[in-house]
Amino acid sequence: MIQLELPLSTGEPCPVFSVGQQCRYYLNHNGDHTFGGGFHDPVHLRRCATPEQHPAHAWVDQPLACSGRSA
């Protein structure tokens, strides 16, 4: 089983939004933002059409998130 390191909770949500989806992490977390379904998104939807690595973002038409990683 893989252990995922989630940021420590400050009790306050991260204020960053993407396409109306708020980042799932807490304020002052370390690492990339995660929006929408996050880790539970289907694998085939974790990457969008942008071939270069880029910041993670939510999808416009559904509550899922592109990881921003290159293919």
Count of helix runs (H) and strand runs (E) in the chain? 0, 4
Q: How far apart are CA 20 and CA 67, in angstroms?
A: 16
Q: Is the pLDDT of residue 15 over 90?
A: yes
**pTM as predicted:** 0.61
22 burial (CB, 10 Å; 0-12 / 13-18 / 19+) is middle
CA atoms within 13 A of residue 67's CA, in its CB half-sphere = 12
pLDDT tens for 28-39 read 888 888 887 766
Q: Are 7 and 26 in contact (CB under 8 A)?
A: yes
